Structure 1
Amino acid sequence: MAGESAVSRREQTARRISRCAQELAIEHGFDGFTLDELAEQVGVSRRTLFNYFPGKEAAVLDSPDRISPDDVAVFVAGGPEGHLLRDLGHLVTNIYTREEPTREDWHRIHALFERNPRLITVAKERFEGMVTQVREAIEQREGLPSGHPRARVAVAIIVGLFHHSMTSFLSDEDRDFPTDFMAGVDEATRLLS
C-alpha cells in the first residue's frame, strides 16, 4: 500500500510539472522559458525536475502514453475477451483511464501544439512508436509475419476510432471518451463480421 501511494505521489508531481511546463510553453513559447523558471513556477529544485523528466521537451510533452507490459501480455495471450478489435479497444481505454486526462488537459494540449507547432513532430514520433508497439503485439498474438496487412488494418481501425471518439468528446460536454470509443469498436466489430 505504501508503494502505491508513493507511485501516486510521483505521478501527481510529474503531472503537476508537465502541466506547468505546458502552460509556460503556451504563454511564452517553447523557447520562451528556462528549466530554472519551470522549477521556480512548480516550487521544486532544478535537480528535482531531472528526477522526473530528462529535459524541457519531455516535461512539456509529459511522459509518452505507454502501454502497460501487463496489458500487452494479456493481449498477446488472447485476452481479455478473445476478440482482436475489442481487445485492442481495451488496450486504448486502459491507457486513457490510467492517465485520466480531462477535457481541460486535451484542450491545453491542443493550445500547446497551436502555439508550438514543431512539437507536433515529436508527439507524432512518440505516437508512431506506440502504434508500432501495438502492431507488433498484434503480429505476435496472431502469429503473423512483420508488416502483415491484418495487423496494419487493425491498427488503422483503432486509430480512426480513437480520432473520431476524441473529436466527439472534445466538442460535446456530455460525451464520455471510453464509452464512446468502445461503442465505436463494437460497431466496427459488427460491420466487419
Structure 2
Amino acid sequence: MENSAKNEDGGLRERKRLITRAAICNTARELTTDRGLNGFTVEELCEQVGISRRTFFNYFPTKEDAILGHSDGHRPDDLVDAFIASAGSVPLLEALVDFAAAAGGRLAMTRDEFAQLHAVMQREPQLLVKLFGDSAVKQKEFAALIARRESMAADDPRAIMAAQLIGQLAWQSTHAFFSGEEGPSFRQILDSQIDAARYLFADDTHHTTSEGTP
C-alpha cells in the first residue's frame, strides 16, 4: 500500500507538472501572437499563468524556449537504454524507427497547439533560427548516440547521415500528423516515410515513366 501511495503521489506530481508546463507554453504563444516576442515580459507571463519567476525558470531557461516548447529537453532515458540494448539483435534502421516512433508518441502537443505554434512562427520568424539551431545540436547528439550503439567514431559519416535522415523523416511525419485531420497514427505516417526512403535506396529499384516503361 505504501508503494502504491508513492506511485499515486508521483503520478499526481507528474500530471501537475505537465499541466503547468502546457499552461506556460500556451500563454507564451498567445502573448506572442497578440503582442509579438518583445511585447511582454517573463513577469507578465508568470502573472497570467499564476506562477512565480522561480517556477518559470524551473521549466524553461528563456521566454523563447517556453514559446517553442523546449524544455526539460533530453531524450527519455528508457528510450535511449532500449535503443542501445537492441544493438546486435535489431537492425539499425528498425531500431531507429522504433526510437523515433516512441519519442513521437510522447509529443505533448495537440493539433490546435501545433497550429498555434505555426502562427507564432509566422509572427516572429526569427524564432526559426533558434528552433533550427537547437535542432542542429540535438541532431549532433543523436548522431553520437547512433555511433555509440554501432561502435563507431562519434563523427562517423554513417552515423551523421542516419541522424539527419531519421530526423528529417520524423519531422515530416510530425508535421503531417499535426497538420491533418484525425487519421493515421504518427507511427503509420512515419512508416510510410520510411517506406519511401527504402524505395529510394533499394538496390533492385527500377524507375519507370508515367507510362510504366523504364
Asked whether 1:160 is paired with 2:168, we answer yes
- Distance in structure 2 (CA, Å) of the matches to 1:99 and 1:186: 23
Letter in 2 for 1:40: E
1:28 correspondence with 2:42: no
Distance in 2, matches of 1:8 and 1:156, equals 33
Deviates more, 1:37-46 or 1:106-115: 37-46
Q: Give structure 1 regions of 4+ aligned residues with deviation exceeding 6 angstroms.
A: none
Q: In structure 1, list runs of 5 or more residues that go unmatched.
A: none
Of residues 197, 200, 209, the one that matches 1:188 is 197
The answer to whether the aligner puts 1:109 opposite 2:120 as a matched pair is no
Q: 1:134-169 CA distances to partner (integer Å, 9 max, x unpaired)? A: 111111111112322221221232123224323433
| Greater C-alpha radius of gyration | 2
Aligned-partner Cα distance in 1 for 2:198–2:141? 22
RMSD of aligned residue pairs (Cα, Å): 2.4
Q: CA deviation at 1:96?
A: 2.1
Give TM-score, length-normalised by structure 1.
Answer: 0.86
* Structure 2 gap segments, 5+ residues each: 1-6, 203-214
Residue pair 1:86, 1:185 contacting (<8 A) in 2 also: no
Tell me how many residue pairs correspond in the alignment. 193
| Matched letter for residue 179 of structure 1 | Q
Match of 1:3 in 2: 10
* Structure with greater helix share of residues: 1
Aligned: 1:127 with 2:113: no
Q: Offset of 1:189 from its aligned partner? A: 4.5
1:74 corresponds to = 82
The 1:169–1:97 alpha-carbon spacing in structure 2 relative to 1, beyond 3 Å, is closer
Following superposition, the deviation at residue 79 of structure 1 comes to 5.6
Q: Partners of 1:5 and 1:80 in 2: how far apart?
A: 38
TM-score (structure 2 length as normaliser): 0.79
Alignment deviations for residues 29-82 of structure 1 (CA, whole Å, 9 cap, x no partner): 110011121122212233332332233222222234531122112212226971
CA contact (8 A) 2:177 2:184 kept: yes
* Structure 1 position 95, deviation (Å): 2.2
CA contact (8 A) 1:22 1:60 kept: yes
Look up the SS of the partner of 1:31 in the other structure: coil
Please say if residues 87 and 149 of structure 2, whose CA atoms lie closer than 8 Å, have aligned partners that are also in contact.
no
CA deviation vs aligned residue, 1:152-190 (integer Å, no higher than 9, x gap): 221232123224323433443134323211332355356
- Secondary structure of 2:106 counterpart: helix
Which stretch shows the higher mean deviation, 119-128 or 150-159? 150-159
- Note the alpha carbon deviations across 1:96-147, whole angstroms, 9 max, x for none: 2223322112211211111111111111122112211211111111111232
Q: Is the 8 A contact 2:33 2:120 kept in 1?
A: yes
Contact 1:86–1:182 (Cα < 8 Å) also in 2: no
Q: Give the fraction of aligned pairs with identical amino acids, expressed as a percent.
A: 32
Specify the alignment match of 2:63 in structure 1.
56
Alpha-carbon distance in structure 2 between the residues aligned to 1:66 and 1:105 = 21
